[in-house]
Amino acid sequence: KNEVEQSPQNLTAQEGEFITINCSYSVGISALHWLQQHPGGGIVSLFMLSSGKKKHGRLIATINIQEKHSSLHITASHPRDSAVYICAVRSVWGSSSGTYKYIFGTGTRLKVLA
C-alpha cells in the first residue's frame, strides 16, 4: 500500500467546473506539498502547508492533520489548469543537517475541456 494515496487518478472536467483532488497519507508528516507537473514534465510547487487552509488565486488547499487528509480545490477551472497534480508529504524528522525526505503520491491527471 502506498504511503501517499491520491484520488481520483484521472479527472476530466468542463471549463468552469469546481474541481477537488484528494490526498490521504498514512505516515507522520511535518508538511504537505501540492505540486503541479506540466505536460512537458516540469514541476512547480503550488502550496506547502502543515495546517488549515491556503489560497492562491483560484487554488485552495486544505489539510486535516488528525484525519491525515488534504484536498486541492480549483475554482472556475480552465483548460490551462490541465496538468498532473501531485501530493508530496515531508517526513516528520529531518536529518541532523536539516534536510527532509519527501514521499510522493502517484498524481492526479486533470484534463479541463473548453
Residues that bind other proteins (CB under 8 A): 30-31, 33, 35, 40-45, 48-50, 86, 88, 92, 94-107
> For 92-95, which contacts have Cβ atoms below 8 Å and span 24 or more sequence positions?
92/27, 92/28, 92/29, 92/30, 93/30, 94/30
Judged by beta carbon, residue 60 or residue 100, the one nearer other proteins is 100
Judged by beta carbon, residue 36 or residue 77, the one nearer other proteins is 36
Q: Smallest distance, Å, CB 114 to other proteins?
A: 26
Q: Smallest distance, Å, CB 107 to other proteins?
A: 7
Q: Are the CB atoms for 26 and 1 separated by under 8 Å? A: yes
Kindly tell me the number of DSSP H helices and DSSP E strands found in the chain. 0, 11
Q: Smallest distance, Å, CB 65 to other proteins?
A: 12
